[in-house]
Amino acid sequence: MYAGPQETTNWIRRSFQQAAKNLAKDAIKRFVKPHQIIGLGSGPMAAAIVREMANFDGKETLECIPTSFQIKLEAQCSGLRLIGESNVTQIEVVFDGADQIDAKFNMIKGGGGALLREKVVHSAANQIVIAAESSKFLQTFTWPVPIEVHPFAIHIVRKKLEDMGGKPKMRMLNESYPYVTENGNFILDTIFDFSSDIRRQEVELKNIAGVVEVGLFTKHGEVYYKAKEDSSFEIIENP
Q: Are residues 102 and 46 in the same domain?
A: yes
Report the number of distinct structural domains present in the chain.
2
The pLDDT value given to residue 7? 56
Radius of gyration of the chain (CA): 18
In whole angstroms, what separates CA 32 from the centre of its chain?
19
φ, ψ (nearest 5 deg) of residue 217:
-115, 110
Return per-residue pLDDT of the chain as tens, 239 residues. 445 555 545 646 778 789 899 999 999 999 999 999 999 998 888 899 999 999 999 999 999 999 999 999 999 999 999 998 777 888 999 999 999 999 999 999 999 999 999 999 999 999 999 999 999 999 999 999 999 999 999 999 999 999 999 999 999 998 889 999 999 999 999 999 888 899 999 999 999 999 999 999 999 999 999 999 888 999 999 77
Q: Which of 97, 191, 204 is nearest to 140 (CA)?
A: 191
Range of the domain at 48: 5-138+219-237
* Residues 29 and 114 occupy one common structural domain: yes
Q: What is the DSSP string of 22-59?
A: HHHHHHHHHH--TT-EEEE--SHHHHHHHHHGGG-TTG
- Expressed in percent and rounded to 5, the helix, strand and coil fractions of the chain are 35, 25, 40
pLDDT of amino acid 88: 81
Dist CA 39 CA 65 (whole Å): 5
Using CA atoms, how far apart are residues 235 and 130, in angstroms rounded to an integer?
10
CA-to-CA dists, residue 80 to 65, 95, 173, angstroms? 10, 14, 31
Sign for the pseudo-dihedral over CA of 50, 112, 109, 152: negative
Q: What interhelical angle do 5-31 and 44-52 show, nearest 10?
A: 50
Give the model's pLDDT for residue 6.
Answer: 55
Q: Which of 50, 125, 59 is nearest to 88 (CA)?
A: 125
195 and 225 share one domain: no
Q: Are residues 133 and 231 in the same domain?
A: yes
In a shared domain, residues 30 and 127: yes
Domain containing residue 158: CATH number: 3.30.70.260
Same domain, 183 and 99: no
Q: Are residues 107 and 194 both part of a single domain?
A: no
Asked if 43 and 156 sit in the same domain, the reply is no
Residue positions annotated with a catalytic role = 118
Contacts of 155 (CB under 8 A, 6+ apart): none
Are 12 and 89 part of one and the same domain? Answer: yes
95 with 13, same domain? Answer: yes
Map residue 98 onto helix, strand or coil.
coil
Whether residues 197 and 134 share a domain: the answer is no
What residues have CB less than 8 Å from 239, skipping those under 6 apart?
105, 220, 221, 224
22 and 78 fall within a common domain? yes
CATH, residue 122: 3.40.50.1360
- DSSP class of residue 74 equals H
